Amino acid sequence: MRPDEYEHIVAEHFESKGFKTQVSQYSNDYGVDVFATKGKIKIAIQAKMFGNSTRPINRQMIMELHGAKDYFDCTKAIMATNGRIIDNALKVAKKLKIEILEIPAIKTNFNSKSQKPNREFETIWEKDVIPLEGKTIKRADGKTNKIVSVDWSGIKRVTSNGKEQKIKIEIFKKTINHLLENGSITRKYINDEYQYRASSGIVLILANTSLFQLTTNPTGLKMK
């Protein structure tokens, strides 16, 4: 199951409780995947389908959701997941009054009223990025990166310095959606959007797909 399908399962759960839902677009969601409204109640919901990955729900995710709730003037925030929640996330969620809701990644018979947006990112991830798993890719200077694994939580790679690094899928979403909307992106933009040092890896990985190519002055990517 893809993350966008899980988001609609989450939306269906709230629709079955009498809420109106809206599944948000990745480019402008600020971490909110679903909005659910009923009367004066407006809930910011983040859907994390981590059941088949090693990535857990951590406190940073909870704190970011709390900020998104306030940004969108919501009355409540809920973290919906089928994955593992670590203790520090539970502690922060209790303090910030954020509910953690376990929803299995199982399709239901409920007829969702939420309008499904065009999820080009998931298609690109499935067809162009996931097949890079296990491959060794080269930089312009001849140094290599080994793509250890690719799943719906992100990419694990071994850098040219021999260090193992995990790049979260969220920054790939932002990068690819920016490319789809604007045609190009710079490493500076990626660095501004991602707190970890991984822009060179993101650019290298995406340049090894059939859709994007490297640019110079400034360094970045553009659509082929």
Number of neighbouring beta carbons within 10 Å of residue 78: 23
Percent of the chain with pLDDT over 70: 92
The whole-number pLDDT of residue 117 equals 46
Check pLDDT > 90 for residue 63.
yes
State which CATH number among 3.40.30.10, 3.40.50.170, 3.40.50.1820, 3.40.1350.10 fits the domain covering 3-117.
3.40.1350.10
Higher pLDDT, 52 or 97: 97
Q: Which residue has the higher pLDDT, 78 or 27?
A: 78
Angle CA(195)–CA(196)–CA(199) in degrees, nearest 5?
105
Name the amino acid, one letter, at 54: T
- Write down the pTM of the prediction: 0.70
Average pLDDT, the chain: 89
User: Please, is 18 exposed, middle or buried when counting C-beta atoms within 10 Å of its C-beta (0-12, 13-18, 19+)?
Assistant: exposed
pLDDT score at 105: 87
Of the listed ranges 21-30, 44-53, 197-206, the least confidently predicted one is 21-30
Nearest CA to 13 among 41, 34, 29, 42?
Answer: 34
Confidence category of residue 109, pLDDT binned at 50, 70, 90: low
Domain extents in the chain: 3-117, 121-223
Mean pLDDT across 16-39? 84
pLDDT category, 197, cuts 50, 70, 90?
confident
pLDDT band at 101 (very low <50, low <70, confident <90, very high): very high
